[in-house]
Every structure is written in C-alpha cells, then in structure tokens.
Structure 1
Amino acid sequence: MTPPKPPEAAEPSPARRLLSTPTVGPLAALLLACVFFSFNSDQFLTGGNFSLIIQQVMVVGTLAIGQTLIILTAGIDLSNGAIMAFGGILMAKLAAEGTVPPLVAIALGLLVCAGFGAANGLLVTLVPLPPFIVTLGMLNVAFALTHIYSQDQTVTNLPAPLTALGETFAIGDTRVTYGSLLTILLFLLFAYLLGQTAWGKHVYALGNSPEVARLTGIRTGRLTVGVYTTAGFVYGIAALLLVSRTGVGDPQAGQTDNLDSITAVVLGGTSLFGGRGLVIGTLIGALIVGVFRNGLQLMGVASIYQTLITGILVILAVTVDQLSRRRIR
C-alpha cells in the first residue's frame, strides 16, 4: 500500500510576501514621516526642500552603498568616513597645487580609496582578523594620514572639474545638483548588480554562510577582498561628492559619517548579521535620516533631539531585525 504523500506547504500569499520584504517597513516609515512633517511645516512639501534633503544625504548615502556591500557579507566598516576624508584631501591638494591635472587627481583619489578598501579586505581574509578590528585600525590610519598630508589646512581654490558635481540643473522650478543625480544612479547600479548578477548572489551567499558558500564553489576570500575594494572605490566617489558640494578639501570631514552610514543601512532593513537586505532599502534609510533632520529643523527642534530620535530609530530597526530572525528560525 502506497503511503499518502505529505501535504505540501502552502504558498505564502502575495500580501504576506510583500510584508516580509525588508524595505516595506522603512518605506512606510519614510512616507509617514513625510506626512507628519507636511502637516507641521508649509515649507516641507516643496521641490526646493526635497532637493536640499537629497543634497544633504548624497554623501552619506553614497558611503552607505559601500557599507551595505560589506554588511551583506556580515562585516562592518568603521573606516569609510576617514577613507573618504583622505581621498577628498588628496584630490583637492593635488589639483589645487597643480601637481597633476584635475582629472588625474580625481582618478588617483579614487584608486587610493579603493586601495584602502583592498587593504581592509586582505587583512580580514588573509590574517584573518575581525572586520570590526581591521576597520577600526584603518580608521585611525586614514585619519592620521589625512591630517599629516593636509597639515591641518583646508584646501581652497579648487579647479572646476572637482566642483562640477556641485553645479545644478533645473527640473521645473527646482534646482538639482549633478551629484544628487549621480548618487541615485549609483543606487540603481548596485541594486542591479546585487539583484540580477551572479556576483550579487554570491555576496548574499557569503553573508548567509561563508562555509556553505565555499562548499558550493564560491571563492570566498577573493569575493571578500573584491567587496571591500569595491566599497573603497565607492568611498572615493563619496569624497568627490563631498568636495564638489563644499568647494574645499576639509581635513575634518567625515568624522561621524561612518556611524551615519551604518544608521542608513540599518534603517533601510539590511541585517547586521549579513545575507539579508536591499541597497534600495539603504537609500530609503538615508532619506529617513535626512527627512527627520530636515523636518525637525523646519519645526525649530534643537539638533540634539534630532540625534536622540535617530538613535531611537536605529535601536528599533535592529530590534525588528532580531525578532524577524528568531521568527525565521
């Protein structure tokens, strides 16, 4: 007598699948925040204000793209703000002093930032050392090199190629910077790479289980170094965006941007334990921080309370992630 077949597990409904998507919660939070601030400030729902929000988050948002790549592999990068600061000073000083042509200065800055990322990746894989320790040490190295190289002097009188991304173009009555457009394009590019390519699937597999990824034939060491190097290159782009927005090379830049980038990643629904999250969620997370800070400022709330609210949001986001992981188990 043939034993009865076990009942097949019911397919989750479309509504259940939608609610389980990591970006749904952050997107709902962003929309609710926009509704709240639109009722409390007449200036909030204007094209100029939204353009300002994007300009305010474009540097941290770009840093957060690289941070997302690393966190998806179950790592973390505390050095990205310092790497960005060094890249910005290097580009600015080489170009302003005429040591090399401006475009060459930009290319060298990008390559040096990628080199910092590669060094992080090699130390994590070859020694091996925990990403937290490696990037904490690299933060101090990059911070010191920035101040040594710049002699604690702000670099001014930058040539036009270094400030071009800070120029604006018109969309209707709203002025938008080219840097904001570049940031959005970078998010779309990495959303495609992570979601539609073998490389992206390997990154998720590495974050879920390095051993299982290795047994399936993924060269986990090479992949990890590649992720950190790519993240470093993205930090170089963030350095160029920062220089173009401020118009100077500032040795004091980026000192809290590492934590702000982690905040954007976490608020966007990416798990700190790796293997789960979307880079578009990081964009939403960066916008949540930007909207809250902008909206509270328009309401006249002191900046210290903006920091307080951001901290509470991070704790809530990590708590939700922990609870969802337990439910999956």
Structure 2
Amino acid sequence: MSTATSAADLLQRRRTPAQRVQQVLHAHPWVSPLVVLVVAVVVFTALNPRFASPASLSLVLQQVAVVGALAVGQTLVILTAGIDLSVGAVAVLAGVVPAQLALSGGLPGPAAVLLGLAVGTLAGLANGLLVTRLRLPPFIVTLGTLSIFTALALLWSGGSSTRADQLPAVLSWTGTRVAVGPFNLTTGVLLVLVLYLVVGYALACTAWGRHVYAVGDDAEAARLAGIRVRRVLLSVYVVAGAVYGLAAWVLIGRAGAASANAVVDANLESITAVVIGGTSLFGGRGVLVGTLLGALIVGVFRSGLSLAGVDDQYRVLAIGVLVIVAVSVDQWIRRARA
C-alpha cells in the first residue's frame, strides 16, 4: 500500500460524521433537496392523505412546469456565478409577440412558436452581449432588461391578454391533457421533462458543459486553461434565452392565454428553485436534477400547506425559510475539502 493511499485512508477515518456528510453533499449537491422533498411528501401525506393522490400530485407537476422550465435557464446563468432577473419578462415578451402577430397578422401557428423561441433567444443574446462586451455585472444588466422587456411586452400587447381560443391551436398545444398511468399531466409538463434531459445531458456529457462549470468555478483559471470565457458566457445567456422562449410556449398552454401580466413572480421563483435545488450562487457547483427537485419542493410545500389549511402568508414564509436554509447549507458545503 502506498504512502499516499495510507494517508488518505487515515484522513477519512479521522473525519467526523458531519464532515463525511459535508463531503457527500459537496460531491452530490442533489442529495439534500431529494431528502427535503421525500420528507415533505411524507409529512404532508400524514397531515392529509389526499395529498398523495394522483390528482393532487398531477396538479403539483402542472403548477411547477412553467417555473421549472424558467429555472433551467436560471441554473445555467447561476452556474457561471451570474444571476438573471429578467427571466419572467423574457418569457412574457416571447409569448405576447407571436400571440399578437398570430391574432392580428395571421401568422401561422408553427411560425409563431418559432418566433417565440427567436424572441427569447435574442433577449438572451442582448443580456449576454451586455455582460461579456461591456463587462457589466449580470445583476445590473438583467435588472435593467427586466424593465425594458416588461415595457416592450406591455407596449406590444397594449396591456391586453390574448385568449388561447383566439390563437392557432399549436400555441396552446402545451396545455393538452395527457394521461400517464394514474396521473393526468399536460404536454407542457412532458416537454419540460424532455428539456431537463437535453440540457442536463449537455451539462454533464459535453465539452460545453465542462466549460460552463469551469468558468463558474474560477473564470481566470478557466481563461488560463485556454477556455474562451466570454464566448462561453455569451452562449449561456443565448441558450437561457431560448429556454425562456420555450417556457413562454408552456405558459400559454398552462394559463390559456398570452398576457403581459403573467408570471409576475417568476424571477424570484426561478431563483428559489435553483437555490433550494443545491446550485451554488457562487457558481461552479450544482446539477440540473437538483433544480427540478427544488421546483418540486416549492410546489409540494404550497400544495401541502394549502391542503393542511395553512394560511397563504405562512406558505410564503415557509418558502423564504427554505431559501435561507439552502444558502446556509451551501456555505457550509463549500468549506468541504476533498
């Protein structure tokens, strides 16, 4: 046995149980949100057995679909140590522009869907260029574009909503009911799950994904290693924008309308899902499955507390506590040493 191996074994034996847990959570950031989700489901089922019914769980999945989709793009940005406050505004803009053109200009349904994706992508490109070319902080950039994109959506739509029955059927296709065993889902939910699989694969199994993590962990070290940091950052914002455009399509199906006043809390909710899901706000650590778990945790808490008869304000309080606990756990995990 080598000296290095003996030293590693000795160090492992000297670690306390808390340090071992810390190491596990550092290596697998999705474990803690999974534990929280399982415990929450068990507790809420004990309080009200109706919570575990297929109808109740189906409703939770439908409710978190839009925020879950937006949280995919938010995860990409946060992995690079940035933050995107414009997610909801981009999704709204990517929804009302094609909806209005389909209503008043006769734009065909498939073209309207592609236009929504293009609008989201261009919005992400604008954010990315401001961050990478002008080197402005992501927080300031997206805080400004939040107002810009919101104003553009209101000006374009005149502040009015466009009902799904006024639009081509393909725009509201994501609201179509689909039976999956005992569960009653929508095509939008299934589309979001496919989105997680595709982006999760890109992050875990491609050079681009490794570069995203490297830039978020230490941008200067990544640059010295030959990674084109600004190009990676720009690609992240562009991909995130395309994801927001897809989320807009899911939103139209879920809400049954394209409205400039939709998803007003999407910015905070998407960040909440990402943080609770174990992705570090300091960048470089986190996995997409954790974001999915985080979005489900938020949905489970809201539905479970509602079925338990808890006042809505306490539900908001519970989510806030979860966020603070998640950030505290992240700070503790980051002190782990391999």
**TM-score when scaled to structure 2?**
0.92
Does the 8 Å CA contact 1:207/1:274 hold for their aligned counterparts? yes
SS in 1 for 2:251: helix
Q: Percent identity?
A: 50
- Gaps of at least 5 residues in structure 1 are none
- How far apart in 2 are the matches of 1:67 and 1:143? 18
Equivalent runs, 1:169-208 vs 2, <5 Å: 169-208=178-217
- How far apart in 1 are the matches of 2:181 and 2:289? 26
SS in 2 for 1:57: helix
Counterpart residue number, 1:321: 330
Does the 8 Å CA contact 1:56/1:290 hold for their aligned counterparts? yes
1:85 maps onto 2:84 in alignment: no
Q: CA deviation at 1:318?
A: 0.3
- How far apart in 1 are the matches of 2:182 and 2:294? 27
Counterpart residue number, 1:275: 284
- How far apart in 2 are the matches of 1:41 and 1:245? 26
Question: Which of 300, 303, 306 lines up with 1:294 in the alignment?
Answer: 303
Amino acid at match of 2:147: N
Does the 8 Å CA contact 2:91/2:247 hold for their aligned counterparts? yes
Does the 8 Å CA contact 2:25/2:333 hold for their aligned counterparts? no
Counterpart residue number, 1:75: 82
SS in 2 for 1:254: coil
1:218-242 Cα offsets, whole Å, 9 max, x none, are 1111111000000000000110000
Counterpart residue number, 1:303: 312
RMSD over aligned CA atoms reads: 1.7
- How far apart in 1 are the matches of 2:180 and 2:225? 49
1:110 maps onto 2:113 in alignment: no
SS in 2 for 1:255: coil
- How far apart in 2 are the matches of 1:19 and 1:211? 26
1:251 maps onto 2:260 in alignment: yes
Amino acid at match of 2:206: T
- Gaps of at least 5 residues in structure 2 are 14-19
Counterpart residue number, 2:130: 123
Q: CA deviation at 1:323?
A: 1.7
1:28-50 Cα offsets, whole Å, 9 max, x none, are 00000000000111211111111
Question: Which of 151, 158, 162 lines up with 1:155 in the alignment?
Answer: 162
SS in 2 for 1:326: coil
1:210-261 Cα offsets, whole Å, 9 max, x none, are 1111111111111110000000000001100000111111110122101000
Q: Give structure 1 regions of 4+ aligned residues with deviation exceeding 6 angstroms.
A: none
SS in 1 for 2:51: coil
Counterpart residue number, 2:48: 41
Q: CA deviation at 1:8?
A: 4.1
SS in 1 for 2:185: strand
Does the 8 Å CA contact 2:51/2:304 hold for their aligned counterparts? yes
Does the 8 Å CA contact 2:34/2:293 hold for their aligned counterparts? yes
Does the 8 Å CA contact 2:108/2:168 hold for their aligned counterparts? no
1:17-37 Cα offsets, whole Å, 9 max, x none, are 644411111100000000000
Does the 8 Å CA contact 1:158/1:247 hold for their aligned counterparts? no
- How far apart in 2 are the matches of 1:277 and 1:174? 29
- How far apart in 2 are the matches of 1:251 and 1:53? 24
SS in 2 for 1:152: coil
Amino acid at match of 1:211: E
* Count, aligned residues: 325
Amino acid at match of 1:83: V
Counterpart residue number, 2:219: 210
Question: Which of 28, 37, 53 lines up with 1:30 in the alignment?
Answer: 37
Question: Which of 160, 173, 194 lines up with 1:164 in the alignment?
Answer: 173
Of residues 151-160 and 258-267 in structure 1, the stretch that sits farther from structure 2 once superposed is: 151-160
- How far apart in 2 are the matches of 1:62 and 1:5? 49
**TM-score when scaled to structure 1?**
0.95
